[in-house]
């Protein structure tokens, strides 16, 4: 996958989470092709987008990372990842990150991308299946735990 497609999502994830929750995200290596199903860290949010190309953004994190983000943004501690407010905050986080990233892509590459509503998945041993779509994953670390960013574009983003 072209790095010009991955870079806006990585930058937006780091920038928006730092701005919203003061949580620093450190990349662990580089983006790698994701060829197998993903075993979630515990809290995952997915947002899809369509335009000249179709794709999706998956943010997956350990519950401790999600709890810290929720606490910093809302100003209250919510440790139950199945709580509606908790899940709503994590979904909105992906909506903001995805919106910022596709705005950058639309400005640079004129893809005309639009976001769909995000979904949140919680629980142990949740498997996220990767359909026949080109996908790349960046493993990340915060001081609160692990996180990963997975970006996918149909046909690798070629229109």
Banded pLDDT at 132 (limits 50, 70, 90): confident
Cα distances (Å, whole numbers) of residue 33 to 2, 128, 144: 11, 15, 26
H or E element at residue 38: strand 38-39
pLDDT at 94: 94
Q: Write out pLDDT tens, residues 75-103.
A: 999 888 889 999 999 999 999 999 999 99
The two tokens of residue 133 are: 């779509």
pLDDT at 155: 65
Banded pLDDT at 158 (limits 50, 70, 90): low
* pTM passes above 0.85: yes
Is it the case that residue 130 has pLDDT exceeding 90?
no
Q: Write out pLDDT tens, residues 5-55.
A: 899 999 999 999 999 999 999 999 999 998 888 999 999 999 999 999 899
SS3 119: strand
pLDDT at 146: 98
Q: Domains plus CATH for the chain? A: 3-144 (3.40.1550.10)
- Orientation of helix 63-74 relative to helix 3-21, angle to 10°: 60
Q: What pairing do the DSSP bridges indicate for beta strands 119-122 and 127-128?
A: unpaired
pLDDT at 154: 84
The two tokens of residue 124 are: 């142990």
pLDDT at 61: 96
Is residue 20 within 8 Å of 96, Cβ to Cβ? yes
pLDDT at 18: 97
The two tokens of residue 38 are: 């993903």
Q: What is the mean pLDDT of residues 148-152?
A: 95
Q: What is the mean pLDDT of residues 114-134?
A: 86
Strand partners, 134: 153
Banded pLDDT at 133 (limits 50, 70, 90): confident
């Amino acid at each position: 996958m072209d790095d010009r497609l991955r870079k806006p999502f990585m930058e937006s994830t780091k920038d928006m989470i730092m701005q919203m929750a003061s949580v620093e995200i450190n990349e662990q290596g580089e983006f790698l092709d994701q060829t197998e199903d993903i075993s979630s860290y515990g809290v995952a949010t997915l947002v899809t987008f369509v335009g000249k190309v179709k794709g999706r953004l998956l943010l997956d994190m350990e519950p401790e990372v999600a709890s810290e983000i929720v606490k910093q943004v809302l100003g209250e501690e919510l440790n139950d990842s199945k709580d509606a407010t908790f899940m709503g905050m994590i979904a909105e986080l992906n909506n903001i990150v995805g919106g910022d990233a596709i705005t950058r892509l639309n400005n640079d590459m004129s893809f005309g991308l639009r976001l769909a509503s995000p979904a949140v998945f919680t629980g142990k041993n949740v498997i996220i299946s990767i359909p026949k779509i080109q996908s790349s994953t960046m493993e990340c670390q915060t001081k609160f735990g692990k996180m990963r960013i997975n970006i996918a574009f149909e046909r690798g983003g070629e229109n």
